[in-house]
Structure 1
């Protein structure tokens, strides 16, 4: 993937609950994207998660300590690679997006 680097001023504003292979929302398993101005970072805590960038076709097997950067409005999907526990952290740059309260 040749994408711009994570912006230095992007700050977290929300995170999901932890998901497992049994509780991952169906919407994450098919093509979806973050909204304009929203960056995201996947945090795998245990196990493995497949991350697919649907724009360039890149596929990464994620484990603990590997955090792909999800750029605003970029189509992607995930799939469990066996037992997994993970969450998603949403970030925004000042002035790019008004984070919901």
Structure 2
């Protein structure tokens, strides 16, 4: 992945953050289509994670990269076995 054409608005303020997950420790709901009511970012710390929204985007996010998740957009993730990642929420 190079640049994400969708970006978290500049006025958004970082809020809650999930713990770091692996393929084994992530909540099963993240692997199924779900929504968030606020802006969020998938942040990949190690390995890679496939991010797909149900509208049109599917990207492989690698370590050190992030992808913006708009509110009310159905999406899911598929982490590689070596992945470590978290989700940063914004208000």
Partner of 2:33: 31
* Alignment map for 1:18-97 (pairs within 5 Å): 18-35=20-37, 38-56=38-56, 58-92=57-91
TM-score of the two chains, using structure 2 as the length reference:
0.89
- Structure 2 gaps of 5+ residues are none
> What SS is found at the alignment partner of 1:61?
strand
**Structure with larger Rg:** 1
* CA apart distance, 1:55: 1.2
Root mean square deviation of aligned Cα: 1.5
Q: Kindly provide the CA deviation profile for residues 9-43 of structure 1, in whole angstroms up to 9, marking residues without a partner as x.
A: 101110001101110110000000101xx100111
* CA apart distance, 1:2: 6.1
> What SS is found at the alignment partner of 2:30?
helix
* CA apart distance, 1:6: 2.4
